[in-house]
Amino acid sequence: MIYILGAIVLLGILVIMVKGSTTPGAGIDNETLQLKVAEVQQYGMELERAVTYIMRNGYSESDIRFAHPNHSSAYGDITDDPGRQVFAREGGGATWQDNDPRIQTVDTDWLFNGRNRILGIGSSTGSSSELIAMLNYVSRDFCVLLNEKVGVTNPTGAPPRDGADAEITTPFSGLYQFSKNINDAGSQYIYGKSEGCFEGGGSPANSTYHYFRVLLAR
């Protein structure tokens, strides 16, 4: 019995060593982190191509939808005019990708919204806002590495902090309604970037990190 209990304890220690940590978003080795950053970037490009393909088929920017059986019902039903659906074969043909707890600190799906504006991208007047894909609550290490890959400066080695309150809760349902800019306070780092990662500046909270990819600049 002593030997069996000892083996169980050793197995538990080995599992913890392999995982690095039981904390979500922590303990991932650098090689795996590099791979996950590349995968997220590639997925962002896939989503952007899907949006472009739908519009080339005659749909408007307000027609685009992100429904999927695994997604929130707020995005609608994928059978509702499949030609305008990003994840439908008849539409954008993009693959559905589940969120990954290895790079996130909160278990949350991809968000698609039409309420944020990236200064220096598209128009900066009136009610203009971009169509954006966001992977929220990524780990700090992921955020820093992603920015290094896409050319967003990490001031003092940390991701730039959003100077306002980014909109990371409202699913896109065809309405572009400007709510907040995504931009650091001095407009030094995120300005004009179609892809990047930032620290929350209040709402979302400080010390939380969020990836964005502009799918359609307006």
Q: What is the pLDDT of residue 126?
A: 61
Instruction: Give residue 165's pLDDT.
Output: 80
pLDDT in 10s for each residue of the chain, 218 residues:
554 545 554 454 444 444 444 445 555 789 999 999 999 999 999 999 999 999 999 999 999 999 999 999 999 999 999 999 999 999 999 999 998 999 999 999 999 999 999 988 887 666 689 999 999 999 999 999 999 999 999 999 999 999 878 889 999 999 999 988 898 888 889 999 999 999 998 889 999 999 999 999 98
22-33 residues labelled b (16+ CB within 10 A) or e (exposed): eeebebbeeeeb
3-class DSSP state of 216: strand
Predicted confidence at residue 60, as pLDDT, reads 97
Handedness of CA 65, 113, 135, 51 (dihedral sign): positive
What's phi and psi for 200, nearest 5 deg? Answer: -60, 150
pTM of the entire predicted model = 0.85
Short-list 79, 138, 136, CA closest to 110: 136
CA 217 from chain centre, in angstroms, equals 16
| Sequence-separated contacts (24+) of 154-161 with Cβ below 8 Å | 155/188, 155/189, 158/199, 159/197, 159/198, 159/199, 159/209, 160/184, 160/188, 160/189, 160/190, 160/198, 160/199, 161/185, 161/198, 161/199, 161/200, 161/201, 161/206
pLDDT value for 202: 86
pLDDT of 9 reads: 43
Q: Are 169 and 103 in contact (CB under 8 A)?
A: no
Q: Which two tokens stand for residue 188?
A: 């030094």
Query: What CA–CA distance (Å, rounded) separates 43 from 161?
Result: 24
CA distance 116 to 161: 16
Q: What is the predicted pLDDT for the residue at 25?
A: 53
Both structure tokens of 10:
């050793």
Parse the chain into domains and list their residue ranges.
27-216
Q: How far apart are CA 157 and CA 191, in angstroms?
A: 18
How confident is the model at residue 72, as a pLDDT? Answer: 94
